[in-house]
Structure 1
Amino acid sequence: MKKEHLKKAAALSMAVMMAAGSLVIPGTTAKAASEVDHSEEITITMMTTEAGTQKFPTEGYVYDVIKEKFNINLEVQPIPASDYDTKISTVLASGQMPDIIGGLQSEKLLKYAPTGMFLNLTEYKDYAPDYFDLMYGEDRAAETKKVESDGSLFGFQKCEYNRIAVAQMVAIRTDLLEEIGVEEPTTFEEYYDDLLKIKEKHPDMYGFGTRNGTNYLVGSFAYALGTGGFPTFATTRGMYYEPESDSYVYGPTSEKFTRVVEFLQNAYKDGLLDPDYATMTKDDLFEKASSGKLMSVYDNNSFVGRVYNPALQEIDANAKFDILKPMANEDGNTRSYRYEKDWPNNNSVISVRTKYPERVVELLNWMYTEEGRMITNFGEEGVNYTVDEDGTIVTSQDMIDAQAGASDVAAAVRGELGLGLQGLAQYVDESLDAQITDPIMVENAEKIAEWTEEDLIDYYPLWPSFTEEETSRITELESNINNVFNQEIDGFITGKSTMDDWAGFVETLKSQGTEELEQIFNDAYARTK
């Protein structure tokens, strides 16, 4: 389904930004690019997170390049991921920041930016042309507006250049479809009918299941069926962005939400919905999917390709889950989400007290250039990687073999040099993952990328940014609303409550403040426009 209004909004935002770029920004303190002196050797400090699966070295090839190119000694202090949130809060509260803090969540960025602690990057955008071109390009401008503070950017966000696409999809046992002699379903009606046909042949099997309980289940199907709420990316939140109305809506009170309830209610009655759905954990779903108890799962393609299929094929070599192309709902529309574009909760901010603002901005901007991207993702050409005639990047097999025993080989390889998403890269290229991961994972990722191009899948949109007062009120409202929803929704799914009771339930939800919640979200969204 085309989202022309989003494209127009992005283009408009881009045009506005381009126009603004020709103006003198009041209060700017940046020097002209020609006035910056690079002759002095300086030391820049950076605090960042260290993932449990990938070490973060503090010296090596990338650091050597930075020293040679920028005359900067980059001193990185990696903090274990388990302690990082606490460390960030402590540092920000003290006001004693290093020159750079990496891995900052957008919520904290927007909370602290108005305090004047972070360098206003918009005032230094002449030193970050590659980054600003990227963030205000047509495909990012609308979302970039949501992470601005008072019209300015304060963080260098980790962005994707080449990413293994991951999306929440229906994956079905294609061997079972072959057994009953049907093609892959293209609508939810066909999908349901196919599950019933399989059930006739395999009465002990269930049609589908998800992990993480009721809200995860509801959120998996809601958007695809034409409404929304409780997305798998934020399962405690009934709010969602509705592209048809260009507004935020509390899903369960929308007219089309009865589709979701009736779909799940019928599936429970017909023995298609796994009866353990409300308490299903990740481990439970793995056991059921890998032991042949489920016909389909609603999960991301990473789990399907790397986890469920290998285990399932140990008991049946011909069995296979494969993701389905997004299916049409009763409106004839296809609606599906993939994980959000880029890593909006992974930002690098610069202390306003740094002695060398222009040089620090230049350094981080370099990481978004072709040269910086290649070096921070792959290391040294001819040593750590080569490029084939067709442009394929090939990481040294010796480096890969040296990490063969690691639980995450790609992370271990990158950890040797401090590369990639969990290293120094700001513009992330996951070509290494494609080189070493399971072929079905790559195949499915390519399908998701194609379906995204066809407008069958959308990147999950960011929430708008809220004031502290709004955040406090949202927390209060959502707590009250969720208490009511969570107490009653299973009754509707299992048939203990009938659809005759639904209208009264909606009124009860509204009495807890769903309309006020929608107003807060849409007021915040309006500010981004």
Structure 2
Amino acid sequence: MFLQSRRRAAAVAAGALALTLGLAACGDDSDPAEGLSANRTGAMESYNVGDQFKATEPVSFSMLYNNHPNYPLKNDWLFWQELTKRTNVTLEPSAVPLSDYEQKRSVLISAGDAPLIIPKTYHPQENAFVSSGAILPVSDYIDLMPNFKDKIAKWNLGPEIDTLRQSDGKYYLLPGLHEKAWQDYSLVIRTDILQEVGLQEPKTWDDVYAMLKAMKAKYPDLYPFTDRYSQPKPTANLWNILGSSYGAPGGWGFNHATWDASAGRYFYTAASPQWRSWVEFLNKLVSEKLLDPESFTQTDDQARSKLATGKSFVITGNAQALVNDYRPDLSKNPAATLKKIPLPIGPAGEVNPAPRTESGVMISSKAKENKNFVAMMQFVDWLFYSDAGQEFARWGIEGTTFVKGASGKPELAPDVNVIGLNPNAPKHLQKDFGFYNGIFAYGGKPELVQSFFSPEEQEYQKVLNARATAPWVVPRRHPSPTRNASRRHCGRPRCATTSTSRPCGSSSGSGRSASGTRT
């Protein structure tokens, strides 16, 4: 009875999903970016790709700020000073602790109190705020953002952008943009313990299971694998990377709809055989006491403490966690060695599950009424999407935080450290200057994204880059309402909101679901 109910629910959800994804939003022919003459105070009259944005008069914008404990916010950071000097913009950050960021963001948006700029939002988190009208349909205003448009065109990111569209054909998140996919998170393993049990580095999840069994046999009183990243979502990273290896990502990567490339259709992710398979694998790890059950509830600090004190040998993480957290945690044990292994291979095959988009920026709908709205969109475009803005946010100021090497590429100044590249340097790029901040510094060309990569991380990326792009990352969707179309018509010769054909712009049938979101 339960299985029948679940199948029926999955079928209804899949049907509704297919209908929603097939809808074309054919509204009127008005251009929202027009009629902004009252909102151009401070905006540059001419602003194009490659231009240095600088407001024509001093302006300030409120911004929600995800306060990272590894480099807590400082008001006197050089980042803020130089940003204002270059752009004539002062940002007013509302700092929220990393652990409370998602909850606080939801509360502020729901109450209508959110700052104008809302960064560090991962798709599909924006879906929750669409139906209320609290956030801006940013796709209506990208003509104000030449660098954003240019990178989408040059890097052929249209298919990825289409995955962000809601049932009205618009998108409400400005994502971080990568020219090449970048998979960062995987398993971090005590390789000295791996040698102790006589095994090679695991290449598949079956190998991981065998490794954990061997570690458990050698150390029966502990859980060999304990994990972090469980607040607010339980084991959000493990569910993501494990689920991706099975073809049905969970955790951070979860979306209700996953594309089945071989069948040419979407399936409901959490009701799929792929999802069930990796959940069963996790259950096996827990039931055999290979995975610490506290992984699903504990804080990051608790998980790190277990690794540091030898109560566990395996954890998930990325390059920064390896260098900034785990190795310093184990510094008192000189025999301990750690490695971030290439993402283990599962039933989905040798795939690189990373998309070319990542967390990005929402804009409060209140911003549209601000007299500086156009200037704000130009500013966001420069800081997050221009080559100059991306280099500034990551590297800082030439002669102070970096120098140009013989190759012409940026290199850290000798007295500045980050990610252990200059371990004895007295200053830190993030903590002391505010650059390479996860709020601002993401996306870009591979040479920029990988510019701080150690040789170890470069080898890791070489393995992942040799793998095929996961087939569900860029699904071949129904024709987009606006793909390859002028903004003045819906991109189809006929609307598809009902079974009958009618000219675009007909007033009946908007194509928007009752909730206004794609679920």
Give the alignment partner of residue 460 of structure 2, picking from 447, 458, 474.
447
Tell me, what secondary structure is at the counterpart of 1:103?
strand
Are the aligned partners of 1:162 and 1:431 in contact in 2 as well (CA < 8 Å)? no
Q: Any residues of structure 2 matched to 1:47-446 within 5 Å, and which?
A: 47-52=62-67, 53-56=72-75, 60-67=81-88, 74-81=89-96, 101-103=117-119, 105=121, 122=139, 124-135=141-152, 138=155, 140-148=157-165, 150-152=168-170, 156-159=174-177, 166-167=184-185, 169-211=186-228, 212=230, 216=235, 219=239, 222-223=242-243, 226=246, 228=248, 231-233=250-252, 239=256, 241=258, 243-244=260-261, 246-251=265-270, 253-257=271-275, 259-260=277-278, 262-264=280-282, 266-267=284-285, 270-274=288-292, 280-315=298-333, 317-329=334-346, 331=347, 333-334=349-350, 337=353, 341-344=357-360, 351-355=367-371, 358-367=374-383, 368-398=385-415, 409-415=428-434, 420-422=437-439, 443-444=456-457
Are the aligned partners of 2:119 and 2:360 in contact in 1 as well (CA < 8 Å)? no
Taking the aligned partners of 2:127 and 2:286, their CA distance within structure 1 comes to: 43
Taking the aligned partners of 1:428 and 1:349, their CA distance within structure 2 comes to: 27
- Deviation digits for residues 67-120 of structure 1 (CA, Å, limit 9, x no counterpart): 4xxxxxx2432222259886997688669x98x534385778667777888776
- Shift of the 419–193 alpha-carbon distance from structure 1 to 2, 3 Å rule, reads closer
- Shift of the 326–59 alpha-carbon distance from structure 1 to 2, 3 Å rule, reads closer
How many Å apart are 1:283 and its aligned residue?
3.8
How many Å apart are 1:364 and its aligned residue?
3.3
Amino acid at match of 1:352: K
Tell me, what secondary structure is at the counterpart of 2:252?
coil
| Same amino acid, percent of matched pairs | 17
Tell me, what secondary structure is at the counterpart of 1:394?
strand
State the match for 1:509 in structure 2.
Answer: none
Report the TM-score when normalising by structure 1.
Answer: 0.60
How many Å apart are 1:422 and its aligned residue?
3.6
Are the aligned partners of 1:155 and 1:349 in contact in 2 as well (CA < 8 Å)? no
- Shift of the 203–421 alpha-carbon distance from structure 1 to 2, 3 Å rule, reads closer
State the match for 1:36 in structure 2.
Answer: 45
How many Å apart are 1:198 and its aligned residue?
4.3
How many Å apart are 1:453 and its aligned residue?
5.0
State the match for 2:19 in structure 1.
Answer: none
Are the aligned partners of 1:47 and 1:77 in contact in 2 as well (CA < 8 Å)? yes
Taking the aligned partners of 1:154 and 1:332, their CA distance within structure 2 comes to: 31
Tell me, what secondary structure is at the counterpart of 1:351?
helix
Tell me, what secondary structure is at the counterpart of 1:318?
coil
Report the TM-score when normalising by structure 2.
Answer: 0.61
Are the aligned partners of 1:220 and 1:298 in contact in 2 as well (CA < 8 Å)? no
- Deviation digits for residues 165-213 of structure 1 (CA, Å, limit 9, x no counterpart): 631x233332233334443232333333344344444444544232449
Taking the aligned partners of 2:446 and 2:73, their CA distance within structure 1 comes to: 15
- Deviation digits for residues 451-507 of structure 1 (CA, Å, limit 9, x no counterpart): 045237799899x9xxxxxxxxxxxxxxxxxxxxxxxxxxxxxxxxxxxxxxxxxxx
- Shift of the 406–281 alpha-carbon distance from structure 1 to 2, 3 Å rule, reads farther
Taking the aligned partners of 2:104 and 2:295, their CA distance within structure 1 comes to: 35
Task: Considering fraction of residues, name the structure with more helix.
Answer: 1
Q: CA RMSD in A?
A: 5.5
- Shift of the 353–241 alpha-carbon distance from structure 1 to 2, 3 Å rule, reads same
Tell me, what secondary structure is at the counterpart of 1:414?
coil
How many Å apart are 1:216 and its aligned residue?
2.6
How many Å apart are 1:47 and its aligned residue?
0.6
- Deviation digits for residues 339-373 of structure 1 (CA, Å, limit 9, x no counterpart): 98332355587822344555444343333222333
Are the aligned partners of 1:154 and 1:349 in contact in 2 as well (CA < 8 Å)? no
Taking the aligned partners of 2:242 and 2:452, their CA distance within structure 1 comes to: 34
- Deviation digits for residues 253-272 of structure 1 (CA, Å, limit 9, x no counterpart): 43345544554455456553
State the match for 2:14 in structure 1.
Answer: none
Amino acid at match of 2:146: P
Paired residues in the alignment total: 428
| Structure 1 spans left out of the alignment, 5+ residues | 1-15, 17-23, 68-73, 465-522
Taking the aligned partners of 1:241 and 1:233, their CA distance within structure 2 comes to: 14
Are the aligned partners of 1:171 and 1:324 in contact in 2 as well (CA < 8 Å)? yes
Taking the aligned partners of 1:216 and 1:145, their CA distance within structure 2 comes to: 28
Taking the aligned partners of 2:305 and 2:159, their CA distance within structure 1 comes to: 41
How many Å apart are 1:295 and its aligned residue?
4.1
Are the aligned partners of 2:179 and 2:445 in contact in 1 as well (CA < 8 Å)? yes
Are the aligned partners of 2:216 and 2:224 in contact in 1 as well (CA < 8 Å)? yes
Tell me, what secondary structure is at the counterpart of 2:184?
coil
Taking the aligned partners of 1:206 and 1:298, their CA distance within structure 2 comes to: 14
Taking the aligned partners of 1:115 and 1:258, their CA distance within structure 2 comes to: 34
How many Å apart are 1:223 and its aligned residue?
1.5
Taking the aligned partners of 1:92 and 1:261, their CA distance within structure 2 comes to: 33
Taking the aligned partners of 1:259 and 1:388, their CA distance within structure 2 comes to: 50
